[in-house]
Amino acid sequence: MGFRRFSTQLADVGAVRAALRRCWRACVCVLLLALAGQAALARTVLELDPDQQPVALADWGDYWIDPTAQKTVQDIAAGAGLPWRPTLARNIYPLQPQQALWIRFTVPPAPDDERWLLEIPYPALDSASLYTLDRAGVWREQRSGDLTPVNQWPTPHRHPLLVVNFNAEEPTHYMLRLANVQGFSAPIRFVSSGHVLRGEQQVSLFLGVYFGLALLGLLVGLVGMVVLRDRAYLYYAVCSALVGLTQSAITGVAALHLWPDSPQWTDRSLVVLGVWMLMALLVLNATIVSLAQRSRLLHRLVWAVVLAGAALSAALLLTASELRIALVVPYLLLVPVLMLGVNLWAWRRGDRFGGWLLLAAAPLAISLALAIGRYLQWLPLSFVTEQAVLASMALQMPAMLAVLVLRSQHRRENTRRIQGLDRMDPSTGLINESVFAERLSRMIARSERLKHQGAVLMIDLVNSEQIQRDFGRKAAQDLPLRVAERLLSTARDIDSAARLSEHRFSMLVEGPFSAEEAATLGPRIVARCLMPYQGLPVDCVAQVRVAYALVPRQGPTAEIALARLAQKLAAVAPQSKRAVFMLPDYVAPA
């Protein structure tokens, strides 16, 4: 009985302990959830640390979007019921045209050893105004952006830099007003003047590379246009100049140094210069692949897109800024797609430069896609989205210059070939009959002067019809080319080989020669032609007949020697098995 009661009490104690343990776990879970909720609601602390630059605003501030963009800083400061929200870490704000983004933040007390600046690394920002509440309760304004002349900025720079005035005793309150028709997705950060100076020294290296390549392309294009008289180099020079101007507009260098007192042109220069740059790239690309000679339809399509770009640039200058995205984005999509399509079309049709141009244009198309994503507020402004277009331009222009140089080299070679068609046979590379007669006349004169003999041979291909019957038309057409190869392999450097007609060839063999040595030339050529050819059946060989003469003994002039050799071969019966014939000594008529 006592043992049963003791066991019952022990069981009750175990149950109580289990209940306490479950309660403790529940309390711990609730406490952790509460701490997690507090951590999620916590705001970052703005600390201007010179060793941790740049200092991002992150979610330390609050933002509100004015739907009418009519409120002043006094209205915003007095408005107690405005729905302020913490600033966004990704910096993509739902800002629309005809709206204003207000951001309020407070800088805690900090030592004023450094001069701090509010940096917005976005050169294309329309308007940025920083209001500082002084001790007298008055809001002091600093204004920058494209709609304000750069010379009137508090700190003239490539992008807005606004001075942050604070003291070491009490917090300083700020209001930042931003307006931009393309939305706003740029980071807002705090930097010291020393950090800005060091950063500009690093950026100047990259900008020097960009602008140096553009200037080099301009000079090379002008020199190539004058020296080579090639229209493609003119287009390359124009394209290089527009690329340099577009790069300067993207980076803010143009607004700072080229047109600091023209805010309206600064606001529109980037899109206008970008459209003109794409037009020049498209025309240059079409010229390099010789699109006018390859396809008139595609050539007309390219020029239609170019004319549409000219009309678009005029519209961008005259219409309201709110229409800028709707007008320029379709063109930014159309031109790269058309350029890639033309290059792919030319490459698939055997153009030797189409593939290289396709590879060169691909980075530009990808970078423009990133830029469009940023314009449409799909991607935040970052180093990649800002520098991708610049880097792709810096890669594409040298690549196109290399293709232009190769194209000029091939054109010069083709020109030399065309100019040599009146002296050479285009299919075999052998000299033609007129050049052969000139060289024969010079060899006869040289033999008479030096008192020795040279040899002239005439070779006829006699089994072409049989080859066509047995092995087809393709083999019969290739056979004269194979004979020309064998003659060139037999001839020495000082000798000459010529093609007189479709199935007749001739050779000049420089002397001195004896009659016995000359007699070995014909059998050597016959045996060489009877050897099997690579890629052809064993029985598909050339049967030739050779007539030769020693000059000047058997032909005092070129006309006489060639006429006698032709008569000798014409007199041979078709069924004759003999292959080598020698002319008798020439006897002058009475």
In this structure, how many other beta carbons lie within 10 angstroms of the beta carbon of residue 482? 21
Average pLDDT, the chain: 84
The first and second tokens of residue 16, run together, are 């109580």
Each residue of 511-569: pLDDT tens digit?
A: 887 888 888 999 999 999 999 888 888 889 999 999 999 988 888 899 999 999 999 99
The first and second tokens of residue 522, run together, are 């014909």
Residue 28 lies in a domain: no
Q: Tell whether 238 and 375 lie within a shared domain.
A: yes
Q: Tell whether 387 and 264 lie within a shared domain.
A: yes
Q: Tell whether 477 and 554 lie within a shared domain.
A: yes
Q: Which structural domain range is residue 178 located in? A: 55-187
The first and second tokens of residue 414, run together, are 């083709």
pLDDT for the residue 130: 94
Q: Tell whether 450 and 533 lie within a shared domain.
A: yes
Helices (H), 157-253: 193-228, 231-251, 253
Contact between 294 and 346 under an 8 Å Cβ cutoff? The reply is yes
Residue 30 lies in a domain: no
Structure pTM?
0.68
DSSP 8-state assignment for residue 536:
S
pLDDT for the residue 299: 93
Q: Tell whether 291 and 392 lie within a shared domain.
A: yes
Q: What is the pLDDT along the chain (590 residues), one digit of tens a residue?
A: 443 443 444 344 444 455 445 544 444 343 333 333 333 333 555 777 788 888 888 888 899 999 998 999 998 888 778 899 998 877 788 888 889 999 998 888 766 667 889 999 888 899 999 999 888 888 999 999 999 999 999 999 999 999 988 777 788 889 999 999 888 888 899 998 888 888 888 888 888 888 888 898 899 999 989 988 888 999 999 999 999 998 899 889 999 999 999 999 999 998 999 999 999 999 999 999 989 888 999 999 999 999 999 999 999 998 888 888 888 888 988 999 999 999 999 999 888 888 888 888 888 888 888 877 777 767 776 666 667 777 788 788 888 889 998 888 888 877 777 666 677 887 888 888 889 999 999 999 999 998 899 999 999 999 999 999 999 988 898 889 999 999 988 888 889 999 998 899 999 999 887 888 888 999 999 999 999 888 888 889 999 999 999 988 888 899 999 999 999 999 999 888 899 999 988 877 76
Residue 11 lies in a domain: no
The first and second tokens of residue 139, run together, are 């809001």
For 363-383, give the secondary structure using H, E and C.
HHHHHHHHHHHHHCCCCCCCH
pLDDT for the residue 265: 92
Residue 34 lies in a domain: no
Amino acid found at 91 = N
Q: Tell whether 416 and 494 lie within a shared domain.
A: no
Dihedrals φ, ψ of 160, to 5°? Answer: -60, 130
Amino acid found at 317 = L
pLDDT for the residue 161: 92
Distance CA 502, CA 500 (A): 7
Contact between 504 and 565 under an 8 Å Cβ cutoff? The reply is no
CATH number for the domain that contains residue 251? 1.20.1070
Contact between 163 and 142 under an 8 Å Cβ cutoff? The reply is yes
Residue 77 lies in a domain: yes
Distance CA 276, CA 238 (A): 10
pLDDT for the residue 282: 93
Residue 409 lies in a domain: yes
In this structure, how many other beta carbons lie within 10 angstroms of the beta carbon of residue 211? 18
Distance CA 218, CA 234 (A): 9
Give 93's strand partners: 184
pLDDT for the residue 233: 92
Contact between 292 and 231 under an 8 Å Cβ cutoff? The reply is no
Positive or negative: CA dihedral 61, 64, 65, 66 = negative
Q: Tell whether 521 and 577 lie within a shared domain.
A: yes
pLDDT for the residue 345: 92
Residue 15 φ/ψ region, left for φ over 0, alpha for ψ in the -120 to 50 degree band, beta for the rest: alpha
CATH number for the domain that contains residue 474? 3.30.70.270
pLDDT for the residue 40: 31
Distance CA 558, CA 438 (A): 8
Query: ω before 109 within 30° of 0 (cis)?
Result: no
Residue 10 lies in a domain: no
Q: What's the residue count for the chain?
A: 590
pLDDT for the residue 275: 93
Q: Tell whether 290 and 183 lie within a shared domain.
A: no
Q: Interior CA angle at 14 toward 8 and 20, to 5°?
A: 140
Residue 199 lies in a domain: no
pLDDT for the residue 44: 53
Of 363, 389, 420, which marks where a domain is finished? 420
User: What SS3 class is residue 164?
Assistant: strand
Q: Tell whether 409 and 445 lie within a shared domain.
A: no
Of 136, 156, 187, which marks where a domain is finished? 187
Distance CA 447, CA 435 (A): 18
Q: Tell whether 226 and 352 lie within a shared domain.
A: yes
Positive or negative: CA dihedral 558, 564, 567, 569 = negative
Q: Tell whether 319 and 467 lie within a shared domain.
A: no
Print burial letters for 149-188: b (CB count within 10 Å at least 16), e (below 16). bbeebebebbbbbbebbbeeeeebbbbbbbbbbbbbbbbb
Residue whose tokens read 């030797």: 352
**How many domains does the chain divide into?**
3
Of 420, 450, 470, which marks where a domain is finished? 420
Residue 472 φ/ψ region, left for φ over 0, alpha for ψ in the -120 to 50 degree band, beta for the rest: left
Give 133's strand partners: 139
Q: Tell whether 260 and 168 lie within a shared domain.
A: no
CATH number for the domain that contains residue 155? 2.60.40.2380
Long-range pairs for 325-334 at CB < 8 Å and ≥24 separation?
325/181, 325/182, 325/375, 325/376, 328/271, 328/274, 328/275, 329/372, 329/375, 329/376, 331/275, 331/278, 332/274, 332/278, 332/368, 332/371, 332/372, 333/368, 333/372, 334/305
Distance CA 229, CA 496 (A): 36
